[in-house]
Structure 1
Amino acid sequence: MVHADAGGADRLALAVLAQWRMATTEQMHLLIAPGVRIEQTRRRLAKLRTEGLVDRVTLPQAGRTRCWFVTQYGAQIASEWPELRNWRPSRTVSDRTATRLRVGHALTVTETGLAFVQDARKRGDVCQPLDWIPEVHHALGSGEAIIPDALLYYRSRGTGAGTGTGGDGGSMLRAFVEVDRATMGPERLAAKLGAYARLHSYVPAPPPGTRPHLTVQEESWRRRYPLFPRLLFILDGTGPAGIDNRVEALHAAAKKLPALFLRDVPILATAITELLQHGPAAPIWRPVTHPGHTVAWTHTRHP
């Protein structure tokens, strides 16, 4: 079992790795303990491995990078913790074969989330490691669902961005994050916008036996969020021309979406190279409704 140390560092390491699905040693170090030597993180992960809570694969790239993931036993332990209440252990990758098959996309998602966490630390904003929640299930009815690559919670320090101002003058921002590595065509990527528009308007049917006139009819997302989260598309896997093609496909798809959805939900896209070079808070985001402009994602407003 996880030993209780002074700072709960073992518990934090297991919780972060369970929620983030996969991470390299360096990514885990930057997430959970950037202020100490990386050797301490290596020892912590090795200890959790000897306890059967996590495992690793060695990637064939130069440097033989180690990629970590939780085992079924580790997932069982972590699933009992209240800080992981939004986490679905059934979607956890808990064996080496599955890890190798998913590692490219999963580590890119981890790198994206890490960029938000590090940028928040630098700016004095609040985005803790457990504020990045991959693969949150959102039902669309008839057995269909949309599962963003990640759900992001981010408290800015008084930007006035309009998503629920806290008592300290800051604003709580939420975003659905989609990381695309050019493994699907631009049209298939753009089709995701339609699914989010359906979620925006989806009202679940009343349970069987319920009198419809006694049931409050409201969109399902309102049970989770005070405002519908922004949509952030992070594009990887091609050069500038490929990025432009995918932004244009998103722009074309946005023209067909309901006006109410476009009014309520900021939809932004950027290249991962821009994200990693300048940081998520920089004005690197292209609104898909006006792709010739760039803005900071924290300054786009809900109505």
Structure 2
Amino acid sequence: MSLETTESTASARPAGLSRLGQILLPALYQHRLMATSQLHRLFTPHARRPVYLRQKLQELRVGGLVDATARRTARRGNPELLWYLTARGADAVAYDPTLPRRGYRISPQAAGSQLQEHTLTVVDTGVAFVDWARRLGDECSPLDWEPEVAHRIRDGESRGGTEAFMIADAVLRYTHTAADGRRRMLSFFIEVDRATMQTTRLAAKLAAYARYQHYVPAGGSRSRSSTREAWRDHYPAFPRLLIVLTGPSDRVLANRVQDLRALAAADPRVSQLAVGVTTLRLLQDKGPLAPIATRLSGDATPTDVFLNPSGGPCA
């Protein structure tokens, strides 16, 4: 979704702003922290340089709606700016009924913390889907993924070391249009792994997804609703899980895939999940329809991220 195609997105935004400014605010509200380069790719992709984008961001900054911090991993001399909403900016768009309410608002301290890279990698994953949707004639907009989505996986509060919620790094929606015109709407749980945690911890997150797939909230009576899985209230079908690896060398990431497959094979609950694992570089370079993913269970033949063999068309 570029600036030229976002007229409807700009409705119900704060008055007195440029159209681009009205589009940037909800994106920053939903995604919390975004680099200038990411915003450029999403909203002004046809411009060679983000001159106009930087001008509008600065106008929002002067108006007290956004602020920026330097990227911690940037080279000295010319650090990339990372943008986020101020409290005033968040209040200006929080009323919009088209946006999911965000209970968590990023602070200047959090924006400058070591959490930067994880947040930006989630955004990079969403940007890759948007980029390829444009090329392929599919649909995935800058607001079609939502970060840090909590899902209850047990009744009551957390106790005994068992968490009450499974928190997905993001939930992403993508609509694929096949060559014959058939359309398929898909949802993904996105887990970003920068190889900063032990593989066993990531496997524990997979087990939480498996619990969510079968979690039925406790009911007061034996009604039909008491046997209905909780996810059915949010998704038309249980989302695929896509693990996106980035960080170390390709060899290290390939070993990580094999370790995850071994751990998944040892847990019958996880083996029932539709899980694919790929790298951010493959997703960016080859796109979601290419054979870039490896299933965590069963056949290890490369597939597209929809988990169709050999990168074939969606069923």
Measured against aligned partners, the alpha-carbon deviations of 1:53-95 in whole angstroms (never above 9, x if no partner) come to 211002352231101111122222222112212x42x223132
Q: Which residue of 2 aligns with 1:78?
A: 93
Which residue of structure 2 aligns with residue 13 of structure 1?
Answer: 24
1:104-149 Cα shifts (integer Å, max 9, x gaps): 1111111111111101001110000000111111111233111111
1:262 deviates by 4.2
1:89-238 to 2 correspondences below 5 Å: 90-141=103-154, 142-143=156-157, 144-158=164-178, 169-206=182-219, 210-213=220-223, 215-238=225-248
For each residue in 1:212-248, what CA deviation from the matched residue of structure 2 results, as whole angstroms up to 9, or x when unmatched?
Answer: 3474421100001111000000111222232123212
* TM-score, scaled to structure 1: 0.87
Structure 2 distance, partners of 1:179, 1:195, is 15
For the 8 Å contact 1:57–1:100, the answer to whether it is kept is no
Paired residues of 1:2 and 1:10 also in contact (CA < 8 A):
no
Identity of aligned residues (%): 36
Structure 1 residue ranges without an equivalent (≥5): 161-167
AA partner of residue 213 (structure 2) = H
Query: What is the SS of the residue equivalent to 1:173?
Result: strand
With over 3 angstroms needed to count, the CA separation of the structure-2 counterparts of 1:3 and 1:291, relative to structure 1, is farther
TM-score when scaled to structure 2? 0.83
Q: Is the 8 A contact 2:70 2:81 kept in 1?
A: yes
1:254 aligns with 2:269: no
Whole-Å separation in 1 of the counterparts to 2:179 and 2:84: 36
Query: Is this contact kept in 1: 2:189–2:242, CA < 8 A?
Result: yes
Shift in Å, 1:4: 5.1
> C-alpha distance in 2, partners of 1:192/1:300?
24
Of 83, 97, 120, the residue aligned with 1:68 is 83
Which residue matches 2:4? Answer: none
Between 1 and 2, higher relative CO (CA 8 Å, sep ≥ 6) is seen in: 1
Q: Structure 1: how far apart are the matches of 2:308 and 2:151?
A: 24
Deviation per residue, 1:6-32 (Å, 9 max, x gap):
7x4322101111111211111111112
| More displaced 10-residue stretch of structure 1: 241-250 or 61-70 | 241-250
SS in 1 for 2:288: coil
Q: Which amino acid aligns with 1:24?
A: A
- The corresponding residue for 1:279 is 287
State the superposition RMSD in angstroms.
2.4
The equivalent residue for 1:164 is none
Distance in 2 separating the partners of 1:3 and 1:32: 20
- 1:118 alignment partner AA: D
Identify the structure with the greater helix proportion: 1
Conserved 8 A contact 1:115-1:275? yes
Q: Secondary structure at the match of 1:292?
A: coil
Superposition misfits of 4+ residues, deviation over 6 angstroms: none
